[in-house]
């Protein structure tokens, strides 16, 4: 399992606003190339984002499904990347004070062939990818914070 944490200079509500905007998913999820559609009730449990992942010419068309949502504290999603597998991704938002939030991102393989082929190198790549995802999430949340 890859676990990363970052202190983001925004309240949990602002960060959860970004997570709740399904159309911004490709702006902060590293490797997602295009959002095709978003269920109107995203991020309610069972709702989905339909996306493409990868780079041309190899793009996988799949979806991400919300497993559970507890605004503004936690969001658990299950990104599908078939035929490679599925991930389980958990965001936990812990307020530090009125203006800062510690965001923890946990990611692990939930199903599929990649679940059995994981190595320490894969975990290291996921770690760096998730650090970048939190950096992008922070940029989006703090940009929204400045506009308020």
Of 50, 2, 59, 1, which is closest to residue 22 (Cα–Cα)?
50
Confidence (pLDDT) at 43: 98
101: Cα within 13 Å, side-chain hemisphere = 23
Q: How far apart (Å, rounded) are the C-alpha atoms in residues 137 and 93?
A: 12
Q: Which domain holds residue 91?
A: 2-147
Q: How far apart (Å, rounded) are the C-alpha atoms in residues 87 and 77?
A: 8
Task: For 35-94, write each residue's pLDDT tens digit.
Answer: 999 999 999 999 999 998 877 777 778 999 999 999 999 999 999 876 677 889 999 999
Task: For 89-128, write each residue's pLDDT tens digit.
Answer: 999 999 999 999 999 999 887 776 666 555 554 565 677 8
Backbone angles phi, psi at 120, to 5 degrees: -60, -35
Count of domains for the chain: 1
- The torsion region of residue 147 among left (phi > 0), alpha (psi -120 to 50) and beta comes to alpha
Task: For 73-87, write each residue's pLDDT tens digit.
Answer: 999 999 987 667 788
Q: Which two tokens stand for residue 66?
A: 């919300």
Task: Please give the angle made by the CA atoms of 20, 23 and 27, to the nearest 5 degrees.
Answer: 95
CATH code of the domain containing 86: 3.30.530.20
Confidence (pLDDT) at 37: 97
Confidence (pLDDT) at 16: 98
Task: For 129-143, write each residue's pLDDT tens digit.
Answer: 899 999 999 999 998
Confidence (pLDDT) at 50: 96
């Amino acid at each position: 399992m890859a676990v990363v944490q970052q202190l983001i200079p925004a309240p949990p509500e602002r960060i959860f606003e970004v997570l709740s905007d399904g159309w911004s998913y490709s702006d902060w999820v590293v490797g997602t190339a295009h959002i095709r559609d978003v269920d109107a009730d995203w991020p309610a449990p069972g709702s989905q984002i339909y996306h493409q992942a990868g780079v041309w010419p190899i793009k996988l068309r799949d979806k991400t499904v919300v497993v559970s949502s507890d605004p503004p504290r936690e969001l658990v999603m299950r990104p599908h990347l078939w035929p490679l597998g599925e991930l389980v991704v958990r965001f936990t938002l812990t307020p530090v004070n009125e203006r800062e939030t510690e965001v923890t991102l946990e990611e692990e393989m939930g199903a599929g062939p990649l679940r059995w082929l994981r190595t320490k190198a894969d975990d290291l790549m996921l770690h760096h990818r998730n650090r970048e995802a939190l950096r992008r999430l922070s940029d989006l949340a703090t940009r929204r914070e400045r506009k308020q």
